[in-house]
């Protein structure tokens, strides 16, 4: 997910690492699946995308391990996230702000 987000925005690892306040080497580990992201990184990424951190956490769930109703919901959210990721347009997933 990290690499796809970075490449969709045509950004370098250094640029994304700086935005997330992590090292480039840690970002490289995240991109290769060698390390799981910390909650701190998930929050910063969610803030950058202006989406709820829970949407990012849902991407790591394995739907086949869930009950049917939960599975359907998680699969729907994952499909929507995948569409947003593919189009590099997260506006449909953005948080609603109370004025």
Q: In this structure, what token pair is assigned to residue 31? A: 């991109």
In a domain, 98, yes or no: no
Q: Does pLDDT of 98 surpass 50? A: no
Q: How far apart are CA 51 and CA 96, in angstroms?
A: 9
45 Cβ contact list (under 8 Å, min separation 6):
2, 5, 20, 37, 56
Model confidence over 15-65: pLDDT tens digits? Answer: 889 988 999 999 999 888 898 888 888 888 888 877 888 887 777 777 788
Q: Does pLDDT of 80 surpass 90? A: no
In a domain, 99, yes or no: no
Q: How far apart are CA 49 and CA 90, in angstroms?
A: 7
Can you give the pTM of this predicted structure? 0.67
Residue 14's pLDDT is 92
Which residue has 């994952």 as its token pair? Answer: 78
Q: In this structure, what token pair is assigned to residue 21? A: 């306040």
Domains in the chain: how many in total?
A: 1
Residue 72 sits in a domain of what CATH number? 1.10.260
Residue 70's pLDDT is 87
């Amino acid at each position: 997910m990290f690499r796809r987000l970075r490449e969709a925005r045509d950004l370098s690892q250094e640029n994304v690492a700086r935005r997330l306040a992590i090292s480039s080497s840690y970002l490289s580990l995240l991109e290769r699946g060698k390390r799981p992201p910390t909650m701190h990184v998930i929050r910063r990424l969610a803030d950058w995308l202006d989406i709820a951190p829970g949407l990012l956490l849902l991407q790591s769930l394995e739907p086949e391990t869930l009950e049917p109703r939960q599975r359907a919901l998680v699969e729907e959210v994952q499909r929507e996230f995948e569409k947003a990721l593919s189009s590099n347009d997260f506006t449909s997933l953005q948080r609603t702000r109370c004025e």
